[in-house]
Structure 1
């Protein structure tokens, strides 16, 4: 499989590896995000020992680990009675032979023995620190990695020399994988999101509709049950969490709306929402002008495009998909897909705004996000408090060119954004899938910027 991007992450690993002394690195992130692929790419042409843990009994896990160590150093497998002896054996080998040691899916080991971090602490303190080797712990259970490895209560706390919280690809990064034209690339990204495993499943020589049918709407396809699998790796009883994610994907975004749609009372709901945020499955948003955690105007959104697609179209239509997937696609998904894509388009335009800020083509803005108050909403608002400058932008994924109505509407809504002094500097931007009516650009002053799909293609092609 082709390895895509991750230049920054590889550079970070290389820096730590090349530094004098030992290294203890932690890599974590959701399943399918490419952690193992990143580590294997890093280990190529470097002396290494790679161990992939499995959900097995502790004794068998330990036996396999020791067997892997012995194999890596071309030795007979010794008799080992406990994890302390296993790590001591590894430490002895590293005194004369520096290696990159990778323990992948570390949470599986902790599941069977929650004292394992203590054994590793002794190994790091007493043996790894005296070597030039690099230990990497990797895991997909975000909650376990954050508590058992990174948390204040962990015996390993404070010993790591670096960490990577591996994120899905941005649209710009995913563009290297998605070989459709820009419009279909945006549509496709709204389905797969930036998860490398999902991106590389699609065959971009085939139409998007065929990829959706083959890889999502088929009961035998990997992605058909993927969200349930993801939740079961983190949660013992995922039913309530599934219903909350479905409610949010279907447009119930405030706590009151979610409670009404799921029947979960507000007290327990807050804990469910907090857990889903911790697992990177939900995002909490407040207006960009609001005071963060203190704001009562919060909204929730599914944090991944594929999960949003799945909970919007697959979960509510399971029975019909089992019987007639083509009917579900043609009658439910295809007509509604532009509405689904419109949200993704806003996120991609926000990504473009950040890129233009980095290129100094929109001026510096320290905060960029959505804004809403009452019935008014603006897709993108950028704030530059030091200069009293504000950027206001709308994004339209419509089949008709954008005209003067949107210009007037944005100007009117701008007056309701209570931020900065009365003489603040305002800049406006419009993003449109279908371009703009003739003459619009010439009738707007230089405080306005208009972007079509070709402009987005240029922005993401030339960072």
Structure 2
């Protein structure tokens, strides 16, 4: 299993920098750490606390607890933490969070320490005055002590409950958004080669909460075969719990999100699928929902055609690949697993996997090419954006467009195709690319370069024709 702590070098250094700031100034520093569930927030902070060699308090709130129970648990953890030189000075009970924070400030004194409050949004749900009590305690008491205060919570709740401009703690904490592990980190954690590392990243979304159940060195399809024997496996449970947390009621937002997860990409198709018996969702209803899901949350990604002219329509996709896979296939697979039909469940997954992977890998490849371009690793120094292109008829669709800027380029530097299946990129694929690319505004035959990204090595005739060929090793190397 992937149990060792992997990656997060940048994030650990961010925390260590804040701790050095505390040591230099003798004053408190607060940081809000947010990210989706199972992304590894708690594990990161525990690793940091273990390496800091300082006394620390790590308090995790429990959803559904009463205020009194949470206060009792906080005081008990404070007594056990080692921050208090004499645990007996910590009372058994207090009247509320203002009193609890005063106790914490008294115990801290002038000792350098780390204080962690995990699942902070649940405390705010229990007590309407919690946010204000935290802000008052920080301004008047805790900030005067050499303490690093780390506040953890899910992305959406932290945005709404803590860091929004109209909330009491706004402007008092630095913000760290914890993203999933990248494909190279996933590969190192699991001991897989480049192609399998990318597959594992697509299946898990780079979430440590799923990777922990993956046996070291196990091939992706074999991992899924083993998971199909367990209806409670994290590969099913994590996305299921995310859906329940983000959409607790089956409202219009949930229908829109599931329509996109089911494969609908355009505004019109989403409106039709997410509508009701009375018809498609009106644009005045759908557009704000898409804005909320792609900007405010954000759990959707929006793609627009990249060329030298503005293009339409915009396309929508579920941002997280594990959640996207769950909606497209794993939920149906899980239903079979729950009914004890493990082999049928695996067969269903295997049938859907190849086609799904071929499309799901495209955003990952574009990200890799853009990172490589910005770092100067591509043959063309003026590439600043990598996207794709399509017209209103979706004929043709060009997988890769490299340009000098986005969303409207001055120059298209390259056009390309992605083929992520088991057969080589051949002359037929090359013919489709060269004939389709001429429709892209800004494409100039014999001047605009051609790029091929393929799971397997292209045919020799193709290799002699195009300007750049990437395989799985090249994609993964971007994150090494």
- Whether the TM-score (by the shorter chain) exceeds 0.5 is yes
Question: For 2:163, which of 136, 143, 150 is the aligned residue?
Answer: 150
Gap change, CA 1:225 and 1:303, over 3 Å in 2 = same
User: Distance in 1 between the 2:46 and 2:300 partners?
Assistant: 30
2:448 alignment partner, SS class = strand
Tell me which residue corresponds to 2:79: 70
Question: For 2:450, which of 409, 419, 428 is the aligned residue?
Answer: 428
TM-score under structure 1 normalisation?
0.89
Question: For 2:354, which of 320, 338, 348 is the aligned residue?
Answer: 338
Is 1:138 the counterpart of 2:152 in the alignment?
yes
> 1:146-193: CA deviations, max 9, x gaps?
122111101111112x21111112223322123233333333322112
1:247 to partner: Cα distance:
2.6
> 1:22-68: CA deviations, max 9, x gaps?
21101001000000011011111232111111111111111211222
User: Distance in 1 between the 2:334 and 2:286 partners?
Assistant: 25
User: Distance in 1 between the 2:61 and 2:195 partners?
Assistant: 41
Structure 1: which 4+ aligned runs deviate by more than 6 Å? none
Preserved CA contact (<8 Å) 1:202 1:215: no
1:248 alignment partner, SS class = helix
Tell me which residue corresponds to 1:390: 413
Tell me which residue corresponds to 2:303: 285
2:400 alignment partner, SS class = strand
Gap change, CA 1:276 and 1:321, over 3 Å in 2 = farther
**Uncovered stretches (5+) of structure 2, i.e. residues with no partner:** none
Tell me which residue corresponds to 1:352: 368
Preserved CA contact (<8 Å) 1:287 1:369: yes
Residues 54-453 of structure 1 aligned to structure 2 (within 5 Å): 54-55=62-63, 56-72=65-81, 73=84, 74-76=86-88, 77-78=90-91, 79-140=93-154, 142-160=155-173, 162-215=174-227, 218-238=230-250, 241-264=253-276, 265-266=281-282, 267-277=284-294, 278-289=296-307, 297-316=313-332, 319-323=335-339, 324-330=341-347, 332-357=348-373, 358-362=375-379, 363-374=381-392, 375-385=395-405, 388-419=411-442, 426-444=448-466, 448-453=467-472
TM-score under structure 2 normalisation?
0.86
Gap change, CA 1:288 and 1:59, over 3 Å in 2 = farther
1:197 alignment partner, SS class = helix
Preserved CA contact (<8 Å) 1:22 1:134: yes
2:428 alignment partner, SS class = helix
User: Distance in 1 between the 2:258 and 2:208 partners?
Assistant: 23
Q: What is the total number of aligned residue pairs between the two structures?
A: 452
2:355 alignment partner, SS class = helix
2:386 alignment partner, SS class = strand
Gap change, CA 1:109 and 1:4, over 3 Å in 2 = same
Gap change, CA 1:124 and 1:197, over 3 Å in 2 = same
Gap change, CA 1:150 and 1:319, over 3 Å in 2 = closer
Root-mean-square deviation (CA, aligned residues, Å) is 2.7
1:430 alignment partner, SS class = strand
Is 1:22 the counterpart of 2:41 in the alignment?
no
1:389 to partner: Cα distance:
5.0
1:261 to partner: Cα distance:
2.0
